[in-house]
Structure 1
């Protein structure tokens, strides 16, 4: 009986240590990824170019994965930890818009984030 109580307490402590991502952060990330989806830009992941919709889908999966491991406190943390490079190869993601030179996704996403935030002020 004591063994089960100890396991329950430890399991509860582990779940309590991981808080949910704040709703405003999750909404801001989804807005940012929708902006990527509708931008007409392409997203490079591990040497292949994908549409904005495919990029959004991939990054939402990474968001779910990262959020399952620890609490994402802000959108910049999500960009730095999940949306700037491949977790398998370590290669930086890139965004290419209307034939312009590709830029690292972290630069593009943080720039778009600034636009989103200034529009909501």
Structure 2
């Protein structure tokens, strides 16, 4: 009986709905996604590589962790706009430019295994 309970518990914890319940892990996955994206980030009138953008987001997360208790809050409060100018961040991937907010929210849904709207 204990083996069955352990197996059920392991299966439950590995489902996508529960796998996404760790905000720190989700946020780090988003930052890793940014770093590996190969996209160009536009912040306050300057362009940055994906790696530089990821480093910037990591810094913002370290400094503003208390404002990002969920991955959604990280995106909305730290990763979408400049805290200095208030201007939204944009990202260009494969010639298509969109807001960082849209791009990161879509990626979060993908990571969670949710259908996109």
- What TM-score results when the alignment is normalised by the length of structure 2? 0.75
Q: How many residues align?
A: 94
Partner of 1:28 in structure 2?
26
4+ residue segments displaced more than 4 Å: none
Q: How far apart, CA to CA, are the structure 1 residues paired with 2:94 and 2:59?
A: 26
> Which runs of no fewer than 5 residues in structure 1 stay unpaired?
1-22
Using the TM superposition, give the Cα deviation of residue 99 of structure 1 relative to its aligned residue in structure 2, in angstroms: 1.4
**Aligned with 1:90 (options 52, 62, 86):** 86
* RMSD of aligned Cα (Å): 1.6
Using the TM superposition, give the Cα deviation of residue 61 of structure 1 relative to its aligned residue in structure 2, in angstroms: 0.4
The structure number with the bigger radius of gyration is: 1
> Which runs of no fewer than 5 residues in structure 2 stay unpaired?
1-20
CA contact (8 A) 2:68 2:77 kept: no
